[in-house]
Amino acid sequence: MKVLALCGLLGLTGFGVWYARPAGPPEPTPVRLTGAMPPLTTLTPTPRARFTPTTRRGYYNLDVVGDFTLPATKSITFAGAGRNLTVEQDWSKLFRRGFSSIIQTHMVEGKERWTNGFPPAGWRSRLTFDQRSLILYNNYFVDPFGQQWVQNVGQSQAALYRTPPGGRTTRTTLHQAAMELQGSCVGFGDCPPGGLRNTFSKVYIDIENEGAAPSTPNGQEQLNLFTYLVRTIREHATPQVLIGSAGPIVHNGLGYARTQDYTAQPDPLWTQPVRQTATSRQRGMPDDLVGKTYGDMVDFQMPGSYYYYPDFDYSASHTADLDRHWLAGLLSEQEVNAKLSPKKRIAWQWVFNSQSAAFPNSAKAEHPAPPAVAEGTAIFYWFTGAYGSVFWDDQINLTPDQPLNNDPALRGTGNDRNYACYEHYIHGLWRLFKHHADLFNGRETYLNETTDCSYDGGKTWVAYNAAQLKKLNLPFVRAIVNGNQILVVASKAYARSGQQTPVMVRYVKDGYAFYTSLTLQGDEIYLGRATMPRG
């Protein structure tokens, strides 16, 4: 997952078009509390670890927290930087800091994967099936498989699906690119009886070239090709392998939280069925793919967006419909897409700014997420009911304490960066899953935008979505309920140090009458839990 394309955002869509559209769903009407305020229940705050964030460049410390693991119902894939900082001393450290799998490029050659010929007899990777994941970037398909369409939509109508009947056998087909992934089991030493199979637990396809409308010939071809690719990978993988893609996704909010997003319809690339085109059958597309949709074929969707520097700027405006807001953007992508598709959600996450000349201070990925943003990303995201995330970086290995890069264009990137944001992110995971993993057992309910809050001391109660909270400049509160337990996360994003923000939360459903009151300090990420009383 690299820089997000902004042509649709800034050019094709147009700012004026956004404001000309309907305002979206009506804002909910606050409900006035009748009678006396019920007794309040005090939340028990979740502990925070005490640590001094690193000031070293190209380094971070995984031991700012102790051991913890994810519940079995969740997944975080490590595609970040710097596994090399710990792997020789303790290869399993990342798996005891909240991550459940690592990407192929971050695996240790000869111990976790074998690529130089066949491994010795009896050799087996020390990584379990669940600890192995793969990202397929678009360059994988270009050489030697000749799939130019992944980088140039204009080549879609020339792409070979597979060798057509009676044609000369060639390696330059999409089928070959997908089929050859079955050789991964040789590299892990776990091929099943009877042949080769792909044994990565998750395959993330990151082509990022799904911009053509399906109503156009190239768009229909792309839809066909994406769908065929996923099906072919599946046909040559063990049944437990999960497959998804950075795109198409159901709806892409590009990291904004806009009113119109809440009335969006699924992207046609997700829902339109596969059809034969004028030449697709001759290029090997099978007839039994016709009628299938990409959305039906994948195991998970990947809504989510990287941050740009304005998301980190506390002095900027964050309340207009087109203003960027780190927390509203994080939640909105999930709230919208959860309603449009029941598929599991896995978001890409990166705690530096992504690159785009369209945004101030975003030309280079040199700005780390502020502490509250990094920690809050690791906590708030999981309150949306998402299944997993990919923790990504544009670097792989890190070498600490190097002199600053002499090239001004690269200064502040790579080893020049301060990676304390990783420590804050892992601290957020630790606060949530070390202390509350029992709540994520598959029986929990995610309230999302139905979280009932009062901003006037309990006189009226209302539930807002992320876009509405941004517009009204209110504190963000989300909750998870599991039996008689409630877990609450809250923050007043962009608040000044020392600023106090009161908010009340209630859950009056299923026989419970839970009311509580919070006073948020600055932009802290508050996390607390309580046993709810019966009404």
pLDDT of residue 96: 98
Mean pLDDT of 405-433: 96
Q: Strand runs (DSSP E) across 170-269, as ranges? A: 202-206, 242-245
Q: At what angle do helices 371-380 and 326-340 cross, to 10 degrees?
A: 20
Which phi and psi angles does 244 have, rounded to 5°? -155, 180
Q: Which residues on neighbouring strands pair with residue 301, listed in sequence order?
A: 345
| Predicted confidence (pLDDT) at residue 339 exceeds the cutoff of 70 | yes
- Give per-residue pLDDT as tens, 257-290: 999 999 999 999 999 999 999 999 999 999 999 9
Which residues, other chains included, contact 16 with Cβ-Cβ below 8 Å and sequence gap of 6+? none
* Nearest 10 degrees: Cα torsion 190, 193, 197, 200: -30
| Predicted confidence (pLDDT) at residue 166 exceeds the cutoff of 80 | no
Mean pLDDT of 347-361: 96
* Confidence band for 217, pLDDT divided at 50, 70 and 90: confident
- Give per-residue pLDDT as tens, 423-473: 999 999 999 999 999 999 999 999 999 999 999 999 999 999 999 999 999
pLDDT of residue 168: 77
* Confidence band for 6, pLDDT divided at 50, 70 and 90: very low
**Whole-angstrom Cα distance, residue 366 to residue 321?**
27
| Predicted confidence (pLDDT) at residue 92 exceeds the cutoff of 70 | yes
Q: Which residue from 146, 140, 340 is spatially nearest to 248, judged by alpha carbons?
A: 340
- Give per-residue pLDDT as tens, 108-137: 999 999 998 899 999 999 999 999 999 999
| Predicted confidence (pLDDT) at residue 3 exceeds the cutoff of 60 | no
pLDDT of residue 14: 29
Mean pLDDT of 232-240: 98
Mean pLDDT of 94-106: 98
* Confidence band for 65, pLDDT divided at 50, 70 and 90: very high
pLDDT of residue 23: 60
- Give per-residue pLDDT as tens, 191-201: 999 899 999 99
3-state secondary structure labels for all residues of 401-447: CCCCCCCCCCCCCHHHCECHHHHHHHHHHHHHHHHHHHHCCCCCEEC
pLDDT of residue 99: 98
Tokens of 522: 């600055």
pLDDT of residue 17: 32
- Residue 285: strand, helix, or coil: coil
pLDDT of residue 117: 87
Q: Which residue from 484, 466, 485, 483 is spatially nearest to 475, judged by alpha carbons?
A: 466
Which residues, other chains included, contact 129 with Cβ-Cβ below 8 Å and sequence gap of 6+? 190, 199, 201, 240
Mean pLDDT of 230-236: 98
Answer whether 175's CB lies under 8 Å from 162's CB: yes
* Confidence band for 29, pLDDT divided at 50, 70 and 90: confident
Each domain of the chain, given as residue ranges in start order, spans 100-302
More confident site: 465 or 166 = 465
Q: What percent of the chain has pLDDT over 70?
A: 96
- Give per-residue pLDDT as tens, 385-407: 999 999 999 999 999 999 999 99
Tokens of 251: 């709806």
Answer whether 464's CB lies under 8 Å from 28's CB: yes
**Whole-angstrom Cα distance, residue 254 to residue 306?**
8
pLDDT of residue 392: 98
Mean pLDDT of 170-186: 96
| Predicted confidence (pLDDT) at residue 13 exceeds the cutoff of 80 | no
* Confidence band for 210, pLDDT divided at 50, 70 and 90: confident
Tokens 């969006």, residue located: 264
Average pLDDT value over all residues in the chain? 93
Answer whether 476's CB lies under 8 Å from 503's CB: no
| Predicted confidence (pLDDT) at residue 5 exceeds the cutoff of 50 | no
**H or E element at residue 232:** helix 217-235
pLDDT of residue 8: 35
- Residue 492: strand, helix, or coil: coil
